[in-house]
Chains A and B, each alone.
Chain A
């Protein structure tokens, strides 16, 4: 099935011949689509997503995506079935551990956002938009060096560590404004139109959590038939959940500023666009972060001694601090072209990020089919990211007074075989 979808997409693209330089026939669907809607939406982070809509109005939107590297939807369905009709047993946990791929460990990532946008075009090629969003990022990585002991035991290897295991999560409330300036065409009537975008968002942290090893390479765990050695230091940072209330969360947890920039070049008659976006530049200060540490240092020949150490190991409160957290920077390069009068092809590469919320390179290849100009149908392939190959699809209604967009992703496989999923819903009303 996955192969069939891929071949169909590829055939749709290739039968049109070379993409570059393909002129958009006058009067075609492609020619009549507003430039604002030619910017294909993404399920990834995009602060400019609604700013190009050519009408004043507001848009309510929410979306989420989550993925892991081990369990697919059938596995999750199996766990639900066992939990509802029987009981999840230790052996089931052993089976689940067996699904964690050797060499890569177990990784989770999730993000979600939802909020409101109000904006529209201004005279002079300007557009302005105001947005209020609730956002959440989460990522966790259990290094294979740590998972291997639970998954395989110590028959083949005896030395383990936490490796690069870590996890972080940040929930925030953002509000800000973004501005677009459209220039051109330059040089000639067929010359490129340049769109410059910039904006800023106030970021209010709501909750934050992080856990990681404090020792290089994740410390050391040695398990042999003769000795047990563990030298591990774990640090956790989190904003306390006890006594949580909205007032405290939005008012007293700190603040930050994020900046977003966009440059887009479009050749409307050729149907080609290039874009670069750098977003989420900035940091947030989080107050009242509780820091806890746990040290486990034991070298023994007795299993009981190790158990005693683990029994008494606590994540002891060290102090409470104010944390300056660099936001996960998003750098994305996109290109799109009209393959023919109804098909637009997009390629976007989101560069890998490190730091608090690491993510590998992800490439989205999308197609938009406009058999009816205001009813685009979308299908695409996702490469890279945490889960390899994925698929996306969706549709939209781009009316004068109504804007509706629904899209979904099947990550790491198709449907039952997917190890991740995403979805987004947007509803706009225009004046």
Chain B
């Protein structure tokens, strides 16, 4: 910001915002300004150096400028982290649909059918790391068996499972030729028996579609984990078929990865990077202002309506670093972390009572420096920590953290600055 040294009075400018208006000269200003300059020169009023000049302007003595403003009273909705994702809601819980899987199942004894799940089948946006680190506790799946043959088909011992495909794309099998299923952390194979409700088999009439809804968390968690860990999953359907020999059933599987987690004790981490406009001060201005900032603080009364305790760490660095985490970037500033307590959560992971907490972030003058330039990148690490006894927590579209925040800025100027 460069200032002019002319004497000014307000001048109105058509269609110009008030706060951008520049003052104009009074009619006699040119003569007065010239006379003033001559007078200043004649009296030797110009200091010998810029340092002396700035000391002169500090003659008013030490002075504290304190500004407290409401920065925002806004809501951080958890759903915001899924921006761009075609999310859905099942039983009040937020989820991400997995691309529909289609298989062709031969109606024969000991059939085995599989379908590789493309890595693009799921998109969790900012929640990717969190989903990988957590265990999905509940996710629905809908299977549709369509019989276009001329004979009723009956499937028994039907199992759907998840395998991690071999590098050549083949299904891993054991010595008996049975698929080697992916397992949970506890070593449990990721398989799920499927049958018509109240029956041990699946019966599909001619020209009909049999729809079966199942709880498929173990399958969905496997698919998601394999994809997010860089492996290639495949959904496998096995069983015994009876009916139209040589015929096939068309099978589709629709799954939703619900945000219904068992969180590890250490929590799950959400990372995000944002690049924002700063105060847009020139380098000299920004350095000078940062030097004079005694304290900049952000004080928020936060109402946590999520099922998590939240730990937040923020690092900021001047400039546009894109998606690069700036925590380790030279010159970056790590702002002191803060925590947000959680409310009461029941064993199903549902919030039953929100909590009000106070959050304070305090910055020194040097820490404000990255905020004063044209652009700054902020990397945020949000750790969602479990609250319920079993670590289960769900995310609902209504989950929100409300901030009633104020920013306080204290600038010390004058002789002792």
- B-binding residues in A (CB < 8 A): 64, 66, 73-83, 85-96, 98-99, 108, 110-112, 136, 138, 140, 151-156, 167, 169-171, 206-207, 209, 211, 223-228, 234, 236, 238, 290, 292, 294, 296, 301-304, 310-317, 415-416, 421, 423
Contact = CB atoms under 8 A, between A and B. Distances in A.
B272 interface: no
Interface in B378-417: 404, 406, 408-411, 413-414
A78 B57 contact: yes
Interface string B136-153: 000000000000000000
Nearest to B40: A77
B170 interface: no
Given A167-B10, A301-B73, A416-B45, A82 B68 contact: no
A413 to B, nearest CB: 12
Majority SS at the chain B contact face: mixed
A81 B411 contact: no
B250 interface: no
Contacts of B186: none
B56 interface: yes
Given A90-B288, A236-B10, A98 B60 contact: yes
Contacts of A311: 17, 19
Interface stretch (B31-39, B120-128, B227-235): B31-39
A153 B65 contact: yes
B3 A153 contact: no
Contact of B69 (A79, A112, A228, A296): A228
B7 A99 contact: no
Contacts of A86: 50
B298 to A, nearest CB: 11
Contact of A421 (B1, B13, B36): B36
Contact of B18 (A74, A87, A138, A315): A315
Contacts of B409: 153
Contacts of B15: 314, 316
B28 A110 contact: yes
B26 interface: yes
B66 A154 contact: yes
B70 A89 contact: no
A82 B49 CA distance: 8
A90 B285 contact: yes
B413 A89 contact: no
Contacts of A98: 58, 60-61, 63, 413-414
Interface centre among B1, B45, B69, B71 (most CB of A within 10 A): B45
A99 B57 contact: yes
A234 B18 contact: yes
B50 A82 contact: yes
B65 A94 contact: yes
Contacts of B70: 224-228, 301-303
B415 to A, nearest CB: 10
A300 to B, nearest CB: 8
B27 A206 contact: yes
Contacts of B2: 87-88
B40 A80 contact: yes
Contacts of B58: 95, 98
A94 B292 contact: yes
A290 B50 CA distance: 43
A83 B13 contact: no
Interface in B51-87: 52-54, 56-61, 63-74
B46 A91 contact: no
A112 B32 contact: yes
B263 to A, nearest CB: 34
Given A86-B50, A152-B63, A313-B19, 5 more contacts: A77-B53, A80-B37, A87-B282, A93-B3, A167-B9
Contacts of A294: 18
B40 A209 contact: no
A89 B285 contact: yes
A155 B66 contact: yes
A96 B3 CA distance: 11
Given A238-B12, A312-B17, A64 B53 contact: no
B232 to A, nearest CB: 46
Contact of A138 (B9, B68, B288): B9
Given A82-B54, A91-B292, A302-B73, A209 B413 contact: no
B136 to A, nearest CB: 38
Contacts of B46: 77-78, 80-81
Contacts of B288: 89-92
Nearest to A236: B12
Contacts of A207: 27
Interface string B104-126: 00000000000000000000000
B284 interface: yes
Interface centre among A83, A89, A92, A96 (most CB of B within 10 A): A89
Nearest to B37: A80
A426 to B, nearest CB: 16
Interface centre among A64, A88, A91, A227 (most CB of B within 10 A): A91
A224 B66 CA distance: 11
B299 to A, nearest CB: 8
B148 to A, nearest CB: 59
B199 interface: no
Given A64-B28, A209-B9, A90 B1 contact: yes
Contacts of B176: none
B5 A80 contact: yes
Contacts of B5: 76, 79-80, 83, 88
Nearest to A114: B31
Contacts of A303: 69-72
B17 A64 contact: no
